Amino acid sequence: MDWFWPEGFLTLLMVGGFAFGAFALKLPIAVAMSAAAVLGAAAGGAGLPVRHLVEGMFGYLDTILIIASAMIFMKSVEKIGLLEGLAAWMIRKFREAPTALGLGIMLLIMFPGMITGSSTAAVLTSGALVAPVLIRLGVPVLQTAAAIAMGAIYGMIAPPINLPAMIIGGGIDMPYVGFGLPLLICTVPLAVVTAFILLVPFLRKAARDDEALEAELARMERNPMSLRLFLPILVLVVLMGGERLFPTFWPGLGMPLDFLLAAASALLSGVKWNPLETATEAVRDALPVMGILMGVGMFIQVMTLTGVRGFVVVSALAIPAWLLYISIATSLPLFGAVSAFGAASVLGVPFLLALLGRNEIVVASALSLISGLGDLMPPTALAGIFAAQVVGETNYFKVLKHCLIPGLLTAGWGIAVIYGAKAIAGILY
């Protein structure tokens, strides 16, 4: 095949077309990425490669199924009132212990992101749930929104579901196995530090008797806490844990079926809810993320077809070591302004190849952490914008200002994990 343009030009054309469609034309991220793939294929002399576009579209089918089923599970847990009940219990239990309360609330914010792999899901579920309570407890509005945004990003990166790590691993045919401990090392220290920066100082000053807060807690406790409410969580832990602990005789059902079975067990919780409506709502909420993954698949497929992917990899390999770390800390979050998933696929894969020789699982975990910062980068800034909305703040830049220090710490910690990947792997494995 004769190429019309060199790979460097095609790289700029595809990335530029992507950015123009997303920012200037305000197209949905998935549509902008698909259009950039078509543009790159045409400029590269491949015409309209329907076969490659379709193959790319389904390149992340496994991940898409995980997202859809995980969102159904998360919605079923939300419908039976488990999240609200947990939040109310936590506040009553640890109201006199601000450190424990701050750490517990941060974990609660992270939980939906850990299950779905989406920071948006975390902000709009547990983030929206705890926002009014945190404000009642004395945490300022902007700090509340910043804590929700950062917690949602850490949840997106924490195990068991980390979509950027899956995408980076898929780029070099590395299975998503053994990521649990490295991802915990990447996220848990940052979540603790962020809680101490944004939540704990204000919780120490919280009023102890507040009628409005008591009314809010009473509303959240509409379904009395019981073991039956925890049934979906227990079923999920048994299904996933059994597959990992006893692989020789435990049936490997796969994550999508694990999530669906756990969601179905919520029907035995004693709380009435409509499974069909819940599943429909969950899939509708997950469609933007699933669409982005389809667009990312087409984009990467065309990059491979036209030689752009190889050009990017070779360029990354040619970067001096000291400049490589600076490039990772800056370019991954900046490109993630359009999509953290796009940053993981377009830049995360070549950066991982440039760092071969270190432990690839630990490095991929750290790269996924840094790419997650893209959800704070304007103009899209999904985590920042939605966190501002749940607290009623119209100017999300005020929220991003309070995310600056945790964000810098996140980038620095990610680089430190990459630098010490061999030592960390020697301890873990």
Higher pLDDT pick, 181 / 345: 181
Q: Which tokens sit at 145?
A: 């929104």
| Least confident among 109-113, 253-257, 343-347 | 343-347
Give the Cα separation of 34 and 18 in Å (integer): 8
Contact at 8 Å (CB) between 301 and 346? no
- SS3 at position 225: coil
Give the Cα separation of 155 and 185 in Å (integer): 13
- Average pLDDT for residues 402-427, to the nearest whole number? 95
Give ∠ CA 188-189-195 in degrees, rounded to 5.
90
Q: Which residues of 123-160 are buried (b: 16+ CB within 10 A; e: fewer)?
A: bbbbbbbbbbbbbbbbbebbbbbbbbbbbbbbbbbbbb
- Average pLDDT for residues 371-380, to the nearest whole number? 86
Q: For residue 4, what pLDDT band results from cuts at 50, 70 and 90?
A: very low
- Average pLDDT for residues 254-281, to the nearest whole number? 92
Give the Cα separation of 371 and 347 in Å (integer): 9
Percentage, residues of the chain above pLDDT 90: 43
Percentage, residues of the chain above pLDDT 70: 97
Q: Which tokens sit at 331?
A: 């370019």
Contact at 8 Å (CB) between 335 and 342? yes
- Average pLDDT for residues 347-359, to the nearest whole number? 87
- Average pLDDT for residues 211-231, to the nearest whole number? 78
Helix-then-strand count for the chain, H and E: 24, 0
Q: Which tokens sit at 407?
A: 């964000």
Q: Which of 215, 257, 218, 205 is nearest to 236 (CA)?
A: 257
Higher pLDDT pick, 92 / 362: 362
Beta-carbon contacts of residue 227 (< 8 Å; ≥ 6 apart): none
Give the Cα separation of 390 and 121 in Å (integer): 12
Q: For residue 3, what pLDDT band results from cuts at 50, 70 and 90?
A: very low
Q: For residue 1, what pLDDT band results from cuts at 50, 70 and 90?
A: very low
Question: Exposed, middle or buried by CB within 10 Å (0-12, 13-18, 19+), for 25?
Answer: exposed
| pLDDT at residue number 232 | 93
Instruction: Answer yes or no: is pLDDT of 2 > 50.
Output: no
- pLDDT per residue as tens digits for the range 154-173: 999 999 889 899 889 887 88
Instruction: Answer yes or no: is pLDDT of 183 > 90.
Output: yes
Beta-carbon contacts of residue 306 (< 8 Å; ≥ 6 apart): 3, 7, 10, 40, 41, 43, 44, 45, 46
Give ∠ CA 59-332-55 in degrees, rounded to 5.
10
Instruction: Answer yes or no: is pLDDT of 369 > 70.
Output: yes
Q: For residue 5, what pLDDT band results from cuts at 50, 70 and 90?
A: low
Q: Which residues pair with 358 in a beta bridge?
A: 356
Q: Where are the beta strands (DSSP E) in 177-332?
A: none
Instruction: Answer yes or no: is pLDDT of 223 > 80.
Output: no
- SS3 at position 7: helix
Q: Which tokens sit at 210?
A: 């507040």
Instruction: Answer yes or no: is pLDDT of 380 > 90.
Output: no
- Average pLDDT for residues 361-384, to the nearest whole number? 90
- SS3 at position 356: strand
Contact at 8 Å (CB) between 368 and 345? no
- Between 382-390 and 396-419, two packed helices, what is the crossing angle to 10 degrees? 140
Instruction: Answer yes or no: is pLDDT of 105 > 80.
Output: yes
